[in-house]
Amino acid sequence: MSDPRRALPSVNSLLESESVRSLLESAPRELVVNAVRDAVAAARDATDAPRDAGAWTTAIRDALALRQRRSLRPVINATGVILHTNLGRAPLARAALDAMREVAASYSNLEYNLERGARGSRYTHCVGLLRELTGAEDALVVNNGAAALVLALNTLADQRPAVISRGELVEIGGSFRIPDIMAKSGALLEEVGTTNRTHLGDYERALGRGGVIVKVHRSNFAIEGFVADVPLGELVRLADPREIPVLYDLGSGLLISLEQFGLTGEPLASEAVRDGATVVTMSGDKLLGGPQAGIILGRRAAIERIRTNPLTRALRVDKLTLAALEATLALYRDAARAFREIPTLAMIAADVASLRARAEQLTARLRSRGITCDVVDTDASVGGGAFPTARIPSIAVSLAGNAERHDVRLRASEPPVVTRILDGRVLVELRTVPSELDDELAGIIDRALA
Asked if 398 contacts 374 with a C-beta cutoff of 8 angstroms, the reply is yes
* pLDDT at 178 (0 to 100): 86
* DSSP letter (8 states) at residue 271: H
Asked if 203 contacts 163 with a C-beta cutoff of 8 angstroms, the reply is yes
Please name every residue paired with 176 in a beta bridge, in sequence order, or none if there are none. Answer: 173
DSSP string, 69-110: S-SS---EE-SSEEE-GGGTSPPPPHHHHHHHHHHHTS---T
1, pLDDT greater than 60: no
The three-state secondary structure class of 230 is coil
174, pLDDT greater than 80: no
Number of C-beta neighbours around residue 392 at 10 A? 21
pLDDT tens, 217-235? 987 677 778 889 999 999 9
Indicate the pLDDT class of residue 173, thresholds 50, 70 and 90.
low
Asked if 130 contacts 327 with a C-beta cutoff of 8 angstroms, the reply is no
- Burial, 22: exposed, middle or buried (Cβ in 10 Å; 0-12, 13-18, 19+)? exposed
Number of C-beta neighbours around residue 308 at 10 A? 9
Helices (H), 105-171: 127-134, 145-157
Q: Tell me if domain 76-85+346-449 and domain 94-341 are identical in fold.
A: no
Asked if 167 contacts 160 with a C-beta cutoff of 8 angstroms, the reply is no
7, pLDDT greater than 80: no
- Judge if the upstream peptide bond of residue 415 is cis by omega within 30 degrees of 0: yes
Fold for 94-341, please state it: Aspartate Aminotransferase; domain 2 (3.40.640)
Asked if 428 contacts 422 with a C-beta cutoff of 8 angstroms, the reply is no
Contacts for 95-98: CB closer than 8 Å, 24+ residues apart:
95/327, 95/328, 95/330, 95/331, 95/341, 96/290, 96/291, 96/323, 96/324, 96/325, 96/327, 96/328, 97/324, 98/327
283, pLDDT greater than 60: yes
* pLDDT at 18 (0 to 100): 85
Domain residue ranges of the chain, discontinuous segments joined by +? 4-68, 76-85+346-449, 94-341
pTM of the model: 0.92
pLDDT tens, 369-418? 999 999 999 999 998 878 888 899 999 999 999 999 999 999 999 999 99
31, pLDDT greater than 60: yes
- CATH number for the domain running over 76-85+346-449: 3.90.1150.180
